[in-house]
Structure 1
Amino acid sequence: MQKKVTAVFDIGKTNKKFFLFDKDFREVYREYARFDEIKDEDGHPTEDLDSLKTWLKNVFDKIINTPEFDVKAINFSTYGASLVHIDQEGNTLTPLYNYTKTLPQDVVDSFYTKYGPELDFAVKTGSSNAGMLNSGMQLYWLKTTKPDIFKKIKYSLHLPQYISYIFTGIPVSEHTSIGCHTALWDYSKKDYHQWVYEEEIHKKLAPIVSSETSLNMNYNGKRIKIGVGIHDSSSALLPYIRSIRKKFVLVSTGTWSVSLNPFCDKMLSKDEVLSDCINYMRINGKPVKSSRLFLGNEYKLQVAFLVKKYKVAKNYHKQVKFDRSIFDRIEQSFSFLFSWESISAENSPNETKLSYKSFEEAYHHLMIELVKLQLKSIETAIGNDKIERLYIDGGFSDNELFIKLLSHQLRNMKLRTTTASTGSALGAAIAISDSKLNSKFLKTNYALKKHTPFIIN
């Protein structure tokens, strides 16, 4: 008998993943792929959209013809800040411009001269000035520097919706992609910002539908429910929102550590914007206050420095366990010792000077300092909200030292870690399902662990 499943394509910048989930959202199949990047007309590396499109179709066509599985639905989770511009016939007009591509400064200056001041604009849109990471700015750039291409655009689709469009042929927009630091959305009026209408950008944007929308379609002779796609950060947050009854903050750790507060119903303040706060958006259009820290990147750089200094194996740091005696010694005479390479912090010295004799001591000190930065980022995301639950997922969720130190600093919060390689994919599956999640969902599907602070002497 065939197993009824929901299929999800989870498209990251590096890894392209395909999952099948059963009715209880357990993973029953996965497939990974990677593609070499191509270059756009300026020589900047970018996604090979043609190879991606071919892989998507081949994988899905193969799976719906597999006798083992009966695919009932499919949805799509992808990275954000990326637009695909299509013409009247649905053909792509430009490369998928990489959000790391630099916008010409004169374009940025002209925009903020028209629609600034910059800080006020960021408060309204939840989008600080970040070049192509503000995907709406890409449309302004195309209009001002490539007007012939801009005129040919029938629709500019956010990447999750373009992937859906490949399967449905129906162009749509949805909240999680629109509201993710795009500079398109005015959170104060719950509509596109006035600049979008003044520049007639709205005419290039497909009709907005709910993130939970699905289209019942005939695909290669089979009736399948096809979702409209969802931004990966909002998708990863969804299982928590659906299964936790009390307010919480989710800290998603990796190269970036992003503290997400989905319970803030106020506009960002100017101070919060200056503290690197931006907005993401829930599937219901409500803002998610987010505070970012380049944690994983800085960790990688500093560990490499310590490995070289103390002449230990490259992965030795993974073996270091929390040592209470080292912690107590450091705390008794604590001072900031690390000079950060990719993070700006007021207490960071100009040069790193370490007098420790062992890697373990230096590593403890590094983690104490990084946790202090993480703590500040979490506090910024919480603001004045009364929140007592904290969930940590991603790469640092299994770093014992990081979790011990964080639970020590946040003694009044209930700290939990979760492990799920399917996070954003699972959220996409949940978004188009009619199932309700119970309170045990995270324990069953996410290896939920509780952590208690160590006893203070």
Structure 2
Amino acid sequence: MHKSLQSDLLQWPVEAVLSELALTLVLDVGKTRTKLLAIDGNGDLLRSWQRESRCVKTAEGYRALDSADVAAWLSDTLSCMGSLRKSVRCIVPITHGAAFAGIGPSGLALPIPDYEFEGFEDRAAGWSKSVDSFAQTLCPVLPLGLNAATQFDWLERYVPNKMAAVRQWMPYAQYWAWWFSGVASSEVSALGCHTLLWKPREGDWSSLAVRRGWAQRFAPVRHAWETVGLLRPDLAQLFGLPRGVRILCGAHDSNACLARYMRSWPRMTLVSSGTWVVVMASGTSMKALDGTGDFLANVSVRGDPVPTGRFMGGRDIERICAGASPSLADVQVMNSLIERGVHIEEGGQRIVLSDGQCIHVDQAAKHFNDGERATLAALYAAQETTRCVRSLGAVGPLNVDGPLALNEVYLEALSALIGDVHASDDPIEGTARGGYVLARWTDPRPITPRVRFVAARKVTDKLRQ
């Protein structure tokens, strides 16, 4: 904000200042944490709230996302925003992928499944042969419920009555858009997030989705940046929000982060970090995708297929740190570990010690102090990211977003291994900033991403070898 304008605003009554803020609220429901961020018309974060994301065991016998808990927390938070409430103009829902809500006559027809429910490993005979080919979906058959089609098949076999009660399916982000507005919708970045329900090249439903009758029950597809409706009058009154608050369709979280960069850099590689580390190589050829490994195509908010590699980096870092703060990672400690030959093998299960012996990562606390474990975790994440980038044949500058954009060991190691690395310099994480960008998607001038160049000045040459 310009100093002159800031000075003028200080002379105004508080209510007048707030009325000029034109707040965008971004609801960011991640697998680990759920956040609500209030961002003003200048793109500055005014306030944020967050809590742990939770799961529950359902009466139907499967683990589900605790959407009721999110709704209760969200209601309390919106009601306690104070004078900020009158300045809200727009709400953008962003959520993790592989989550779908089935709506019946009076709301949710069944609890929203958690893709980490182990029961999803109980597959129907010949399941992998019944799905569309990788050439069609650009997605392999994945473990647990990471494929939405696997969830749907399991639900039809084990809770058929509940499944029959579903009138409309919608992705998780669009469930919250529906919760706010009462308008049902679907969106391509969520439909194309390793679901086996979508054909990214054609921008249409897979033959499996059509054959099983699932596609026909999905809500209409809308653009992520579209206003699907206005805040329900009863919620406006309950929360003390203005009537006429726009509710956007919303998007899958990693793709919201990608949307932050797309208008400025159509050919680039994004590392979106959180529970998952997702490497998205926008503008890269699909030739690297052959159906092996955890490589697939995501679908951008524009509907374009994006070659993608992934690993559960946030969980890996937490496991390797074993209680240590990731912020304790240190470049000099990293150099010492590398010089001694200490490293974590690909896959993240075993640590190679300086004498060549191996231990399981769960034993790390017995052999390494807090700083060493945090450093090993950052170094491992950088090496796995490099593997994804090289496997995809990624092009353009590499931009790191999310928590890893603040981890100097990770960034310097990545720069030493790849080069041309940039880190987000935005005080707002990419997923939430992407939501804010979607709210202004049709503005003639794109919002330029704030990034900084990372130079590997302190890293031992042994890492590059």
TM category, shorter: 0.7 to 0.9
Match of 2:245 in 1: 224
- Judging changes above 3 Å, is the alpha-carbon distance between structure 1 residues 23 and 318 closer, same or farther for their aligned structure 2 residues? same
CA contact (8 A) 1:253 1:396 kept: yes
How many angstroms apart in 2 are the aligned matches of 1:12 and 1:50?
A: 15
With normalisation by structure 1, the TM-score equals 0.80
Which of residues 420, 431, 456 is equivalent to 2:438? 431
User: SS of the counterpart of 1:41?
Assistant: coil
User: More deviation in 279-288 or 318-327?
Assistant: 318-327
How far residue 179 of structure 1 moved from its aligned partner, in angstroms, is 0.7
User: SS of the counterpart of 2:73?
Assistant: helix
With normalisation by structure 2, the TM-score equals 0.79
How many angstroms apart in 1 are the aligned matches of 2:418 and 2:139?
A: 27
- Judging changes above 3 Å, is the alpha-carbon distance between structure 1 residues 340 and 158 closer, same or farther for their aligned structure 2 residues? same
Which of residues 23, 29, 33 is equivalent to 1:11? 29
How many angstroms apart in 2 are the aligned matches of 1:329 and 1:59?
A: 50
User: SS of the counterpart of 1:176?
Assistant: helix
- Judging changes above 3 Å, is the alpha-carbon distance between structure 1 residues 31 and 198 closer, same or farther for their aligned structure 2 residues? same
Which of residues 278, 303, 307 is equivalent to 1:289? 307
For structure 1, which runs of at least 5 residues remain unmatched after alignment?
308-313
CA contact (8 A) 1:303 1:317 kept: no
Match of 1:452 in 2: 455
Which of residues 375, 390, 395 is equivalent to 2:386? 375
Which residue identity does 2:258 align to in structure 1? L
- Judging changes above 3 Å, is the alpha-carbon distance between structure 1 residues 62 and 106 closer, same or farther for their aligned structure 2 residues? closer
Which of residues 33, 36, 48 is equivalent to 2:66? 48
How far residue 277 of structure 1 moved from its aligned partner, in angstroms, is 0.6
How far residue 340 of structure 1 moved from its aligned partner, in angstroms, is 6.5
For structure 2, which runs of at least 5 residues remain unmatched after alignment?
1-15, 234-241
Which of residues 295, 319, 328 is equivalent to 1:318? 328
Match of 1:258 in 2: 278
- Judging changes above 3 Å, is the alpha-carbon distance between structure 1 residues 26 and 205 closer, same or farther for their aligned structure 2 residues? same
User: SS of the counterpart of 1:279?
Assistant: strand
How far residue 278 of structure 1 moved from its aligned partner, in angstroms, is 2.0
Match of 1:81 in 2: 98
Which residue identity does 1:94 align to in structure 2? L
CA contact (8 A) 1:276 1:291 kept: yes
How many angstroms apart in 2 are the aligned matches of 1:38 and 1:216?
A: 30
How many angstroms apart in 2 are the aligned matches of 1:316 and 1:11?
A: 22
- Judging changes above 3 Å, is the alpha-carbon distance between structure 1 residues 35 and 452 closer, same or farther for their aligned structure 2 residues? closer
CA contact (8 A) 2:110 2:163 kept: no
How far residue 161 of structure 1 moved from its aligned partner, in angstroms, is 0.7
- For this pair of structures, how many residues does the alignment match? 424
Match of 1:269 in 2: 289
Asked if 1:145 corresponds to 2:167, the answer is no
How many angstroms apart in 1 are the aligned matches of 2:269 and 2:344?
A: 28
Partner deviation per Cα, 1:33-77 (whole Å, 9 max, x = no partner):
4465432125554332223223334444555x8367422211111
Which of residues 405, 412, 415 is equivalent to 2:413? 405
How many angstroms apart in 1 are the aligned matches of 2:102 and 2:85?
A: 37
Asked if 1:94 corresponds to 2:105, the answer is no
Alignment of 1:81-230 (within 5 A): 81-87=98-104, 89-105=105-121, 107-115=123-131, 120-121=133-134, 124-217=137-230, 219-220=232-233, 222-230=243-251
Partner deviation per Cα, 1:199-239 (whole Å, 9 max, x = no partner):
11112211111112103536437122211121111112211
CA contact (8 A) 2:100 2:170 kept: yes
How many angstroms apart in 2 are the aligned matches of 1:171 and 1:450?
A: 42
- Judging changes above 3 Å, is the alpha-carbon distance between structure 1 residues 107 and 29 closer, same or farther for their aligned structure 2 residues? same
Alignment of 1:323-402 (within 5 A): 326=336, 329-330=339-340, 338=344, 342=348, 351-352=358-359, 371-381=382-392, 383=393, 387-402=395-410
Match of 2:237 in 1: none
How far residue 177 of structure 1 moved from its aligned partner, in angstroms, is 1.0
CA contact (8 A) 1:125 1:184 kept: no
CA contact (8 A) 2:201 2:305 kept: no
CA contact (8 A) 2:415 2:455 kept: yes
CA contact (8 A) 1:337 1:352 kept: no
Match of 1:71 in 2: 88
User: SS of the counterpart of 1:74?
Assistant: strand
How many angstroms apart in 1 are the aligned matches of 2:108 and 2:375?
A: 51
How far residue 191 of structure 1 moved from its aligned partner, in angstroms, is 0.8
How many angstroms apart in 1 are the aligned matches of 2:84 and 2:382?
A: 50
CA contact (8 A) 2:138 2:289 kept: no
How many angstroms apart in 1 are the aligned matches of 2:103 and 2:303?
A: 25
How many angstroms apart in 2 are the aligned matches of 1:144 and 1:292?
A: 30
How many angstroms apart in 1 are the aligned matches of 2:444 and 2:109?
A: 41
How far residue 420 of structure 1 moved from its aligned partner, in angstroms, is 4.1
